[in-house]
Amino acid sequence: MDPSRDRAMEVAMKVIVLGGDGFCGWPTALHLSNLGHDVIIVDNLSRRAIDLELEVGSLTPIAPLGKRLAAWNEITGRKIRFERLDVAENYHRLLSLIAGEVPDAIVHFAEQRAAPYSMKSSAHKRYTVGNNLVATHNVLAAIVESGIDVHLAHLGTMGVYGYGTAGMKIPEGYLPIEVVTDDGVRVQQEILYPSNPGSIYHMTKTQDQLFFAYYAKNDQVRITDLHQGIVWGTNTPETSLDERLINRFDYDGDYGTVLNRFLMQAAVGHPLTVHGTGGQTRAFIHIQDTVRCVQLALENPPQRGERVRILNQMTETHRVRELANKVAALTGAQVAFTPNPRKEDAENDLHVRNDLFLDLGLDPITLDDGLLREVTEVAARYAHRADLDKIPCTSTWTREQRPGAPVEDPKIVAEA
Amino acid sequence: MDPSRDRAMEVAMKVIVLGGDGFCGWPTALHLSNLGHDVIIVDNLSRRAIDLELEVGSLTPIAPLGKRLAAWNEITGRKIRFERLDVAENYHRLLSLIAGEVPDAIVHFAEQRAAPYSMKSSAHKRYTVGNNLVATHNVLAAIVESGIDVHLAHLGTMGVYGYGTAGMKIPEGYLPIEVVTDDGVRVQQEILYPSNPGSIYHMTKTQDQLFFAYYAKNDQVRITDLHQGIVWGTNTPETSLDERLINRFDYDGDYGTVLNRFLMQAAVGHPLTVHGTGGQTRAFIHIQDTVRCVQLALENPPQRGERVRILNQMTETHRVRELANKVAALTGAQVAFTPNPRKEDAENDLHVRNDLFLDLGLDPITLDDGLLREVTEVAARYAHRADLDKIPCTSTWTREQRPGAPVEDPKIVAEA
């Protein structure tokens, strides 16, 4: 039996999971429920609605939430409650829920989380800004108005740091700096790492940080901000229990994360679409480590009056073209270098500290451990559900960028 | 004749003034119109609506906007147009206006601008966040969607910097720092000055900065952010032309700025309400310098692709109790030290660079030049319109703070 389970059972918490029907929220809700915590999912089902808008679906078959929750109860005997409300729109319902339930913690996933979706059009930019910023602020305002000492754990992103690091390791949230005063005295300070977001979506997470810093300072709200890398993988032990519990696997140009896209492309015989040179180095984490990290964060909250606790929720870094090569080596897929729809540096290094989670006991699942299982158990198994038309990244960062789709001249399609 | 007028006339611009019916927006609109620019005011009249909510009004009599604009036309022959729309709500009307008018510049005052109002309740916090952030983002998204190369000048606040400066002068927006890499190498960088807002209102301005940095980087929007000190004074040459053009003078606990409140309190024989020890040092600027600064900013826009141009729009710093003493010396008023409704340091130093505006030719109006005129021409003249019940600052930063009103024990009321 998982030793973390015994520990958690001793301090069973009531936890509201905002966005608990989504890709990270759903497995987090199941994991926390399985540990014996009392979990309430809040969701407006927006992720399902966006599938309708984009005319796409998860590669894996996602059951309706009612069916998911009934299956969880049937299989484990545990009950997860569900409140359908929009955190950005229904402030007073959220406040009533907090005041009535008196939760120990709130996990906040209730944000639009795809960078390409946030860049599709002015309307998508404005939706992402309005939804994400107002949702985060509503949660904070409701916690303060309720007068309850709730620990808020928020999913941030490694993207708040940007991808130019001057040769140093990215610290966990705070950067020690030196400033020279007018008298020539060197003063040492520690500041929130200067943000450099790469999309409207990432920008909202940098703005969230300023909400958190302010509410921690003025109202002593206890806040943990988890700067997560790109998530790969699909299932956790809990979502693997029954197909009705299966997690999302997005492969489309807007919501699919890079590694999952490569896996699906390999499964359907499509060349792996590398944007630009593939020289972008990014941070990654397996979905199973995501849910463990949230657990660890909840078990180790900051004290009241402490500054925001920021942890880098990632376990390894890889260059995009190296990922493509790994998948190609496993599957025999070809690699296609496409135009880069994003406005970003073609190549970058990335060195990230993640000592805090390692010190708390995280034992990461590496790509080399888990990749083959994803290929066979998920991508190949559900490949028949794929809509190949949805593979290209059609959302471009400016009018000058071009979609991330293989161009017609076959010369640029090279073997890995 | 003002030499700046000749220069401007040679390059007459079309300028949209968002929030052009407000305390800074109205005199700015008149000043730009008087210089020969084609001015369009956009406003939702929210400042007038908030007067209704707070059951208070400007000490000076504010004419309806239609009457203001008719008077301006009657007196000067110049025409200012008006579009009533809500920048945060009516995105497509804003976009159509920009696309149809093809303005050279937009001046953005369309934000809720009172820190105490932003702290009154959860609803006021949420209004300020929703209005200010969505408004700023709508303006940026509309500029990009229009495809027009508009220069955006935004009113920020000195409050983005916070009031703890480690003994150095606050630079204009960007701070040179040194970071030590893992190899022990010192790397010099220039970063957006780390923000430390003191209220929800100020927080929204720190978040605005991240909007601007992103849109300047991704879309090459030309942006000037003006970090303004606390404005004092009432009229400019243009608003002084006719009583129908007179500017606002707010004295209430929410919207009144500290110096104007002292002037009004002196005029009605009320003790000058100093919050806490009055040791807070703040930056100040006269409203007439505000409008000149906006003019100078519009005449000196950044280049396309340049980072956000940030200027400190302030001319002098004073400690609050020194201001009270100055007003007391001029008027014979008493000074009352009240509880501080704000959560802030009791005492702070403040040294601020403002070289950029001085280099552009700003010749500041000092407190010592202009204070007496405010006392006689505004505060004393309209004192009969004051509602003394509206003087206390009833909006507190947390449940622990107490309103900024003289306490009943007369011992704490000391002579200046």
Number of Cβ atoms within 10 Å of the Cβ of A312: 26
B358: pLDDT strictly greater than 80: yes
**Contacts across the A-B interface (CB distance below 8 Å):** 130
Extract the tokens encoding A233.
């993988």
Angstroms from A167 CA to nearest CA on chain B: 6
Amino acid B408: pLDDT: 64
| Residue A73 contacts residue A79 (beta carbons within 8 Å) | yes
Extract the tokens encoding A18.
């905002």
| Residue B175 contacts residue B142 (beta carbons within 8 Å) | no
Extract the tokens encoding B147.
């495809």
Nearest to B258 by CA among B159, B123, B168, B162: B159
From B125, B183, B206, residue closest to A141, measured CB to CB: B125
Rounded Cα gap, residues A357 and A292, in angstroms: 10
Contact A203 B214 (CB under 8 A): yes
Helix H or strand E encompassing B42: strand B38-43
Rounded Cα gap, residues A66 and A43, in angstroms: 12
Amino acid A415: pLDDT: 38
State mean pLDDT over B203-216.
98
Rounded Cα gap, residues B22 and B263, in angstroms: 20
Extract the tokens encoding A349.
């290094």
Write out chain B residues lying below 8 Å of A200, CB-based: 214
The rounded percent of chain A whose pLDDT value lies above 70 is 95
Angstroms from A308 CA to nearest CA on chain B: 14
Rounded Cα gap, residues A126 and A131, in angstroms: 8
Phi and psi angles of residue B158, each rounded to the nearest 5 degrees, phi first: -60, -25
The rounded percent of chain B whose pLDDT value lies above 90 is 87
Query: pLDDT tens for residues B20-60?
Result: 999 999 999 999 999 999 999 999 999 999 999 999 999 99
N-terminal to C-terminal alpha carbon distance within chain A = 42
Query: pLDDT tens for residues B331-357?
Result: 999 999 999 999 999 999 999 999 999
Q: Burial of A410 by CB count in 10 Å (0-12 exposed, 13-18 middle, 19+ buried)?
A: exposed
Amino acid B376: pLDDT: 83
B184: pLDDT strictly greater than 80: yes
Angstroms from B289 CA to nearest CA on chain A: 27
Residue from B133, B148, B165, B174 to probe the interface with A (highest A Cβ count within 10 Å): B133
Query: pLDDT tens for residues B389-413?
Result: 999 999 999 999 999 998 765 444 4
Extract the tokens encoding B122.
């959860």
Contact B141 A133 (CB under 8 A): no
């009950």: which residue's tokens?
Answer: A79
Q: Known catalytic residue: B157? A: yes
Extract the tokens encoding B302.
């950044």
Which one of B60, B128, B136, B157 is the catalytic residue?
Answer: B157
Which DSSP category does B277 fall into? T
Phi and psi angles of residue B338, each rounded to the nearest 5 degrees, phi first: -110, 165
Residue that wins the pLDDT comparison between B90 and A413: B90
- State how far Cα A332 lies from the chain centre: 29
Contact B167 A187 (CB under 8 A): yes
Contact A134 B130 (CB under 8 A): yes
List Cα–Cα distances, A46 to A17, A50, A245, A347, B77, in angstroms: 15, 6, 19, 34, 54
Query: pLDDT tens for residues A213-245?
Result: 999 999 999 999 999 999 999 999 999 999 999
Per-residue pLDDT band at A166 (split at 50, 70, 90): low
Task: Mark out the alpha helices in A300-393 (DSSP H runs).
Answer: 320-331, 355-359, 367-374, 381-382
SS3 A330: helix
Write out chain B residues lying below 8 Å of A185, CB-based: 167
- DSSP for A227-295, written as a single string: EE-EEE----TTGGG-GGGPPP---STTT--HHHHHHHHHHHTPPEEEETTSB-EEEEEEHHHHHHHHH
User: Could you tell me if residue A147 is left (phi over 0), alpha (psi between -120 and 50 degrees) or otherwise beta?
Assistant: left
Contact B210 A189 (CB under 8 A): no
Rounded Cα gap, residues B315 and B365, in angstroms: 8
Query: pLDDT tens for residues B290-317?
Result: 999 999 999 999 999 999 999 999 999 9
Q: One-letter amino acid identity for A83?
A: E
State mean pLDDT over A85-90.
98
User: Using CA of residue A269, residue A274, residue A278, residue A280, what is the dihedral sign?
Assistant: negative
Residue from B90, B132, B137 to probe the interface with A (highest A Cβ count within 10 Å): B137
Write out chain B residues lying below 8 Å of A122, CB-based: 91, 95, 141-142, 144-145
From A142, A185, A207, residue closest to B167, measured CB to CB: A185
Amino acid B6: pLDDT: 47
Q: Known catalytic residue: B366? A: no
Angstroms from A168 CA to nearest CA on chain B: 5
Residue from B125, B219, B349, B353 to probe the interface with A (highest A Cβ count within 10 Å): B125
Please report the ipTM that was assigned to this predicted complex: 0.95
A161: pLDDT strictly greater than 80: yes
| Residue A369 contacts residue A315 (beta carbons within 8 Å) | no
- DSSP for B302-361, written as a single string: PPTTPPPEEEEE--EEEEHHHHHHHHHHHH---EEEE---S-S-SB----B--HHHHHTT
Nearest to B150 by CA among B139, B134, B137: B139
Query: pLDDT tens for residues B74-128?
Result: 999 999 999 999 999 999 999 999 999 999 999 999 999 999 999 999 999 999 9
Rounded Cα gap, residues B220 and B322, in angstroms: 44
Rounded Cα gap, residues B28 and B289, in angstroms: 10
Contact B137 A125 (CB under 8 A): yes
Amino acid A163: pLDDT: 83
Query: pLDDT tens for residues B251-260?
Result: 999 999 999 9
Nearest to B62 by CA among B231, B242, B236, B230: B242
Quote the Cα angle for A412-A408-A58, to 5°.
95
| Residue B59 contacts residue B385 (beta carbons within 8 Å) | yes
Q: One-letter amino acid identity for B123?
A: A
Number of Cβ atoms within 10 Å of the Cβ of A399: 8
Q: Known catalytic residue: B76? A: no
